[in-house]
């Protein structure tokens, strides 16, 4: 039997999953729903829109407007379902054998649903310090939305003592994550018949050489470190996972573009890898290409950069979540999240939320009813702690 509080969380999850908040879409219908729900409980919220006004972050405070509150943070967007073999409608929660299927059930609408399903209890809970709700857009496309939310938080909210980012961790406390820098490199070569290599520059061949350079840097990081055994893998990684270029077998390619990422340990410096790559292009590869044609070029643009979350054993957020979960194991994850950005803003931050990261971004994504129950219990224990 599921308890009444968990049933409320599940009922709210059904509503939230029904909003198609894939990152490429507007999240405004979702945010309006949340804003209206909060208002019906007497809670005002603030929105921060993107420049196109198609998406918004939401910030709301429940309880006294004083320092020492707890921020509950989550993203409203989900990843696409295109080309995935879903057995049910991804935007409708379907329960089967104790599992709740639907896009975003694990990553991470269940965390939001647990909070929003418990608004009656949060409002009634005589909080001695406030709970702040910080709901962002565009987390799944490089944590692009949350920086403006963090700025609003810094400006308008008396300093909170802890931020809990409710990404799926099976309700375990995750104290560190890697940073991610996403980069796009565009190579411009010079077209010629592929038999005439002294007259042309194949952008595809140059890209292959640059990708090998990245591969070597990644291998060097694996061999020489830094290493941090909290992480799997234990070192910074660099990978290339998208490439387009060329037009025909017998034309030396004019264009090639590839996208790559640096996933850096908290103790490593992603900018240093980017700088080494740029130096190699500038000093070695571009001059060689330009001996054939002055139009040849390599352009590298960092597209998004999310800082790592550093382990801080003494932090308020650590102590709070460890007290609530009884979890005393130190954990780190390889995926990047908004937590590093909150920490960069000077806020004590950990990740702790219901559901499993192994379900995130998968077809037939699910969260177990047991995890929703565990998350619901966590929230109610937090309320008890904050009412004392
Ligand atoms: Zn997520």
- CATH number (domain holding residue 45): 3.40.630.10
Q: Provide Rg for the chain, Cα atoms.
A: 23
Q: Are residues 11 and 119 in the same domain?
A: yes
Q: Are residues 38 and 71 in the same domain?
A: yes
Where the chain has pLDDT below 70, the residues are 1
Ligand 1 centroid vs 76 CA: distance in angstroms?
A: 9
Q: Are residues 328 and 237 in the same domain?
A: no
Q: Which of 289, 306, 323 is the last residue of a domain?
A: 306
Q: Are residues 161 and 36 in the same domain?
A: yes
Q: Which of 290, 306, 322 is the last residue of a domain?
A: 306
pLDDT score for 197: 94
Q: Which of 306, 336, 368 is the last residue of a domain?
A: 306
Q: Are residues 196 and 98 in the same domain?
A: no
Pairing relation of β-strands 332-333 and 131-136?
unpaired
How many Cβ atoms are within 10 Å of 1's Cβ, its own excluded?
Answer: 5
pLDDT score for 1: 56
Q: Are residues 130 and 9 in the same domain?
A: yes
CATH number at residue 239: 3.30.70.360
Which residues are near ligand 1, the ion (C-beta closer than 5 Å)? 107-108, 167
Q: Are residues 215 and 300 in the same domain?
A: yes
Based on the number of CB atoms within 10 Å of its own CB, is 128 exposed (0-12), middle (13-18) or buried (19 or more)?
Answer: middle
Q: Are residues 69 and 136 in the same domain?
A: yes
Pairing relation of β-strands 297-306 and 56-62?
unpaired
Ligand 1 centroid vs 140 CA: distance in angstroms?
A: 7
Ligand 1 centroid vs 38 CA: distance in angstroms?
A: 23
Ligand 1 centroid vs 147 CA: distance in angstroms?
A: 16
Ligand 1 centroid vs 370 CA: distance in angstroms?
A: 19
Q: Are residues 165 and 209 in the same domain?
A: no
Q: Are residues 233 and 293 in the same domain?
A: yes
Ligand 1 centroid vs 75 CA: distance in angstroms?
A: 7
Buried-state track 342-372, b at ≥16 Cβ within 10 A, e below 16? bbbbebbbbbbbbbbbebbbeebbbbbbebb
Q: Are residues 287 and 235 in the same domain?
A: yes
Ligand 1 centroid vs 212 CA: distance in angstroms?
A: 31
Which positions are annotated as active-site residues?
77, 139
Contacts of 29 (CB under 8 A, 6+ apart): 19
pLDDT score for 337: 87
pLDDT score for 304: 86
Over residues 93-118, the pLDDT tens digits come to 999 999 999 999 999 999 999 999 99
Q: Is the pTM of this model over 0.85?
A: yes
pLDDT score for 388: 87
| Boundaries of domain holding 330 | 4-176+308-386
pLDDT score for 340: 96
Buried-state track 19-48, b at ≥16 Cβ within 10 A, e below 16? bbbbbebbbbebbeebbebbeeeebebbbb
Ligand 1 centroid vs 64 CA: distance in angstroms?
A: 29
Q: Are residues 95 and 244 in the same domain?
A: no
Query: How many domains does the chain fold into?
Result: 2
């Amino acid at each position: 039997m599921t308890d009444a509080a968990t049933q409320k969380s599940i009922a709210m999850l059904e509503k939230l999953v029904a909003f198609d908040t894939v990152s490429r879409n507007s999240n405004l219908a979702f945010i309006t729903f949340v804003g209206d729900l909060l208002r019906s409980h007497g809670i005002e919220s603030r929105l921060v829109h993107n420049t196109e006004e198609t998406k918004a972050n939401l910030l709301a405070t429940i309880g006294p407007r004083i320092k020492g509150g707890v921020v509950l943070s989550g993203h409203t967007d989900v990843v696409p379902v295109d080309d995935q073999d879903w057995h049910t409608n991804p935007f409708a929660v379907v329960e089967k054998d104790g599992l709740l299927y639907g896009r975003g059930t694990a990553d991470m609408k269940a965390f939001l649903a647990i909070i929003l399903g418990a608004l009656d209890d949060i409002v009634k809970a005589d909080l001695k310090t406030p709970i702040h709700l910080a709901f962002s857009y565009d987390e799944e496309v490089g944590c692009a939305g949350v920086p403006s939310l963090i700025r609003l938080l810094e400006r308008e909210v008396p300093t909170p003592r802890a931020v809990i980012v409710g990404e799926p961790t099976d309700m375990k406390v995750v104290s560190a994550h890697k940073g991610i820098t996403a980069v796009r490199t565009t190579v411009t070569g010079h077209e010629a018949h592929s038999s005439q290599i002294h007259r042309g520059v194949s952008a595809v061949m140059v890209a292959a050489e640059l990708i090998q350079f990245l591969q070597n840097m990644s291998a060097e990081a694996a061999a020489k470190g830094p290493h941090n055994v909290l992480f799997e893998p234990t070192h910074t990684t660099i990978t290339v996972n998208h490439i387009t270029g060329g037009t025909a077998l017998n034309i030396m390619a004019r264009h090639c573009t590839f996208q790559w990422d640096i996933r850096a340990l908290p103790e490593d410096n992603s900018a240093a890898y980017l700088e080494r790559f740029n130096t190699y292009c500038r000093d070695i590869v571009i001059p060689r290409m330009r001996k054939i044609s002055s139009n040849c070029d390599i352009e590298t643009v960092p597209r998004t950069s999310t800082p790592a979350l550093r382990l801080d054993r003494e932090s308020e957020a650590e102590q709070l979540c460890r007290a609530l979960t009884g979890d005393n194991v130190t954990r780190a994850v390889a995926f990047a999240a908004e937590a590093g950005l909150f920490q960069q803003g000077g806020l004590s931050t950990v990740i702790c939320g219901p559901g499993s990261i192994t379900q995130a971004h998968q077809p037939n994504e699910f969260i177990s009813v047991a995890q929703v129950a565990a998350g619901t219990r966590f929230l109610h224990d937090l309320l008890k702690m904050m009412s004392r």
